[in-house]
Amino acid sequence: MADQSPDPTLHHPRILCLHGGGVNSEVFRMQARSLIRALPDFRLVFADGPFFCDPGPGIVPVYQDYGPFRRWLRWVPEHPPIDDESAIEELFYSINTTKKEDEGTGPWVGMIGFSQGAKLASSLLYEQQIRVEKEGKADTDYKFAVILAGRSPLVSLSDLTISPACVRAGEASEGFHFEGESPHVLKLPTIHVHGLNDPGLHLHRKMLKQYHDPKTSTVLEWDGNHRVPIKKTDVDPIVREIYRIAREQGVNV
């Protein structure tokens, strides 16, 4: 007999979870299983990227039966061309559909992104910040983001962030190059989780240094490669920071 007990997280503060490139929400949920277990006071909601693609690095053979695989953005020229406006529209449609269809009632308080999803989480948080700065309000009120192995640069998601420092939404990000100080700096709280054996570590550090205010950024390093931490000793520091920052930002957990 199926368990008919109500979902205990229905009324909890919600965190939007954004998968990496060449994965999907179901796989990311499995990759993040230790984080889910360690965050019982939040409701983690997993969104699917709008575009289909080949499986990402390390997905086969473990998750090969869990396709189709998806992406949020182009990262190589082989991905079909798309104009910036359409890319942004598809991206927000996917996210907003996930949020509308979720049965939870708690406020959307944060994001957790891995790899391409981490790049997107920072970009969405920055979009919120600049809309508040320029227009006085934004459609979202995220308090923080967890950036798991997020590579530079930020993605421009509106006319407010078109800049040589940001990759355009329809542009392939591989090979994008910007040096020096970015005029676009995220000041809302972020937790950056860097695997010390990740081949992209230098790009994760670049993302942190160029696009995030050191006063509101927390860096956690762990002895791992390009994957979501699973072991308790690696997950616990992330969870502690999520709770600390959430409470500092007025989230009721």
List, for residues 123-159, the tens digit of each pLDDT value.
999 999 999 999 999 999 999 999 999 999 999 999 9
Instruction: Find, among 111, 113, 93, 252, the residue nearest to 188 by Cα.
Output: 111
pLDDT surpassing 90 at residue 202: yes
Helix (H) or strand (E) run with residue 220 in it:
strand 217-222
Burial class (CB in 10 A: 0-12, 13-18, 19+), 246: buried
Predicted pLDDT at 174: 83
Name the 3-class secondary structure at 198: coil
Question: Percentage of residues in the chain with pLDDT exceeding 90?
Answer: 92
pLDDT surpassing 60 at residue 2: no
Is residue 238 within 8 A of residue 193, CB to CB? The reply is yes
List, for residues 65-89, the tens digit of each pLDDT value.
999 999 999 998 899 999 999 999 9
- The domain made up of 14-248 is a member of CATH 3.40.50.1820: yes
pLDDT band of 180, cuts 50, 70, 90: confident
Give CA–CA dist 30/44, Å, rounded.
Answer: 12
Give CA–CA dist 234/228, Å, rounded.
Answer: 10
Mean pLDDT of 223-235: 98
Q: Which residues pair with 162 in a beta bridge?
A: none
Question: Percentage of residues in the chain with pLDDT exceeding 70?
Answer: 98
Mean residue pLDDT of the chain comes to 96
Helix (H) or strand (E) run with residue 51 in it:
strand 51-53
List, for residues 23-71, the tens digit of each pLDDT value.
999 999 999 999 999 999 999 999 999 999 999 988 999 999 999 999 9
Mean pLDDT of 213-224: 99
Task: Just list the catalytic residues.
Answer: 115, 198, 226
Predicted pLDDT at 175: 79
Give CA–CA dist 123/207, Å, rounded.
Answer: 11
Higher pLDDT, 218 or 174: 218
pLDDT band of 3, cuts 50, 70, 90: low
